[in-house]
């Protein structure tokens, strides 16, 4: 199942299989667990609105929902909590639309009605606002609008048969490849390689660098031409690697409010995820559909997010994807509210772009003066 995909074949079958009573009980358990963070028992559900069943009936239905994979019992307590499948069914079939409060709407509208604002500044403010309104971590992705250019190549000598190839782009992005050769090389050999690489590709846009261009360096290297064959793949992969854009985030500390992130290892894993960014960028640029994507727990390809959920939606202008906005939090997330926030923010920023209210960020020239 694709993350966020609604009403899949499996989901449609489940929707037909679950009785209305099971659906109402599952919905009540999910929403109660989201609010309280504790396993939910049958006695508690007898006090839940719209649940007009006896404790014994609820207990039997809960046992069947557990057998079907929608609930689990975390310990010997009689209470149950939703599984990933339970949350997925809730999001796809049971979740009701959240109505933003007047205060929430006011804050969102205040941001998306800004005039002549810089893109990065708006996205930075958007992550802060999403974080504040949801109490999760706010995320924003900005697509790179310009084609990256190779600034230079460097090589780092590690030993007679080992070195690191380093590429720096004009935007400051660094990409590396560690290589192991089958024959010895000297520092002078690698310096000669770096010189020819820079003479050949430095200053070129990355998508204009071709394999024939790289192969053409072999004759220019003379006796060191033997270095080209074993590193062709590394060079070509380095310049061909897609630049998915820039990721901004705010409110990482909010995650500490949830018991799911109470142990040091889970916090460290999430901090490393935000620091590296590449895995999150990969997820947020993988979905092309014009809808909000909800990725729940183990649906994520990122191992450290198995206990978390990520909700995001692309920001579009004239049918072109220019970025994305989202939140990340515990699997026990208030999905209706988070989805409503993401939807409204994405649409609002998209309208700003179409109205021409957003401008490219001013860059500084080499003398430190603001570019005009």
Tell me the pLDDT tens digit for each residue of 12-38: 555 558 999 999 999 999 999 999 999
DSSP state of 52: -
Instruction: Map tokens 């079958």 to a residue.
Output: 13
Higher pLDDT, 263 or 321: 263
Tokens in use for 108?
């969102």
Q: Give the pLDDT band (50/70/90) at residue 206.
A: confident
Over 60: is that where the pLDDT of 11 sits?
Answer: no
Query: pLDDT > 70: what percent of the chain?
Result: 86
Q: Please tell me the predicted confidence (pLDDT) of residue 370.
A: 39
Listed residue (194, 125, 196, 205) closest to 171, CA to CA: 205
Pairing verdict, β 358-359 and 117-118 = parallel
Tell me the pLDDT tens digit for each residue of 97-116: 999 999 999 999 999 887 75
Q: Return the bridge partners of 162, or none.
A: 159, 180
Pairing verdict, β 320-330 and 137-142 = antiparallel
Tell me the pLDDT tens digit for each residue of 337-367: 999 999 999 999 988 888 877 665 444 333 3
Tokens in use for 238?
């380095």
Phi, psi of 326 (to 5 degrees): -170, -175
From start to end of 251-368, where are the E strands? 293-296, 308-317, 320-330, 358-359
Query: pLDDT > 90: what percent of the chain?
Result: 37
Q: Please tell me the predicted confidence (pLDDT) of residue 1.
A: 37
Cα 135 to the center of its chain, rounded Å:
17
Residue 80 CA to residue 39 CA, distance in Å, equals: 5
Over 70: is that where the pLDDT of 372 sits?
Answer: no
- Contact between residue 310 and residue 295 where contact means Cβ atoms under 8 Å apart: yes
Q: Give the pLDDT band (50/70/90) at residue 311.
A: very high
Over 90: is that where the pLDDT of 57 sits?
Answer: yes
Tell me the pLDDT tens digit for each residue of 160-172: 988 888 888 776 6
- Contact between residue 141 and residue 323 where contact means Cβ atoms under 8 Å apart: yes
Q: Please tell me the predicted confidence (pLDDT) of residue 231.
A: 77
Tokens in use for 119?
């893109």
**Taking the chain, what is the end-to-end CA distance rounded to the nearest angstrom?**
48
* Helix 102-112 / helix 119-134 crossing angle, nearest 10 deg: 170
Listed residue (1, 42, 2, 7) closest to 25, CA to CA: 42
* Sign, Cα dihedral of 194, 198, 202, 204: negative
- Contact between residue 177 and residue 225 where contact means Cβ atoms under 8 Å apart: no
Q: Where are the alpha helices (DSSP H) in 4-134?
A: 9-17, 20-36, 42-45, 55-67, 84-89, 102-112, 119-134
Average pLDDT, the chain: 83
From start to end of the chain, where are the E strands? 71-72, 81-82, 117-118, 137-142, 150-159, 162-169, 174-180, 246-250, 293-296, 308-317, 320-330, 358-359
Residue 137 CA to residue 277 CA, distance in Å, equals: 14
- Contact between residue 179 and residue 193 where contact means Cβ atoms under 8 Å apart: no
Of the ranges 106-120, 125-139, 309-323, the best mean pLDDT one? 125-139
Q: How many residues does the chain have?
A: 372
Burial class (CB in 10 A: 0-12, 13-18, 19+), 68: middle
| Helix, strand, or coil (residue 304) | helix
pTM strictly above 0.75 = no
Q: Please tell me the predicted confidence (pLDDT) of residue 353.
A: 82
Tell me the pLDDT tens digit for each residue of 242-297: 556 678 889 988 998 999 998 878 888 888 888 777 788 778 876 555 789 999 99
Angle, CA 174 vertex, CA 170 and CA 179 arms, to 5° = 130
- Contact between residue 142 and residue 314 where contact means Cβ atoms under 8 Å apart: no
Q: Please tell me the predicted confidence (pLDDT) of residue 94.
A: 96
Query: How many beta carbons lie within 10 A of that of residue 272, not counting itself?
Result: 11
Residue 297 CA to residue 308 CA, distance in Å, equals: 5
């Amino acid at each position: 199942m694709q993350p966020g995909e609604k009403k899949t074949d499996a989901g449609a079958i489940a929707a037909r299989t679950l009785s209305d009573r099971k659906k109402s009980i599952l919905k009540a358990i999910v929403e109660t667990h989201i609010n309280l963070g504790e396993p939910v028992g049958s006695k508690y559900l007898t006090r839940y609105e719209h649940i007009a069943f006896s404790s014994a009936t609820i207990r039997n239905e809960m046992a069947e929902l557990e057998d079907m994979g929608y609930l689990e019992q975390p310990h010997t307590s009689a209470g149950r909590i939703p599984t990933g499948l339970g949350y997925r069914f809730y999001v796809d079939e049971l979740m009701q639309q959240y109505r933003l409060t007047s205060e929430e709407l006011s804050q969102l509208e205040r941001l998306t009605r800004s005039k002549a604002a810089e893109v990065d500044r708006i996205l930075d403010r958007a992550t802060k606002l999403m974080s504040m309104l949801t109490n999760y971590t706010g995320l924003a992705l900005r697509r790179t609008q310009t084609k990256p250019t190779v600034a230079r190549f460097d090589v780092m000598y590690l030993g007679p048969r080992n070195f690191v190839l380093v590429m720096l782009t004009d935007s400051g992005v660094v990409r590396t490849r560690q290589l192991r050769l089958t024959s010895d090389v000297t520092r002078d050999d690698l310096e000669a390689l770096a010189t020819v690489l820079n003479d050949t590709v430095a200053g070129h846009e990355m998508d204009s660098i071709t394999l024939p261009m790289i192969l053409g360096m072999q004759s220019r290297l003379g006796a060191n031409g033997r270095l080209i064959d074993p590193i062709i793949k590394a060079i070509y992969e380095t310049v061909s690697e897609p630049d998915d854009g820039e990721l901004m985030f705010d409110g990482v500390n909010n995650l500490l409010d949830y018991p799911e992130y109470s142990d040091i290892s889970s916090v460290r894993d999430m901090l490393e995820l935000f620091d590296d960014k590449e895995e999150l960028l990969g997820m947020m640029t993988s979905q092309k559909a014009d809808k909000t994507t909800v990725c729940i727990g183990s649906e994520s390809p990122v191992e450290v997010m198995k206990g978390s959920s990520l909700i995001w939606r692309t920001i579009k202008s004239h049918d072109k994807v220019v970025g994305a906005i989202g939140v990340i939090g515990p699997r026990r997330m208030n999905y209706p509210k988070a989805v409503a926030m993401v939807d409204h923010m994405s649409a609002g920023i998209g309208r700003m772009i179409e109205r021409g209210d957003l401008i490219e960020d001013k860059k500084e020239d080499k003398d430190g003066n603001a570019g005009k």
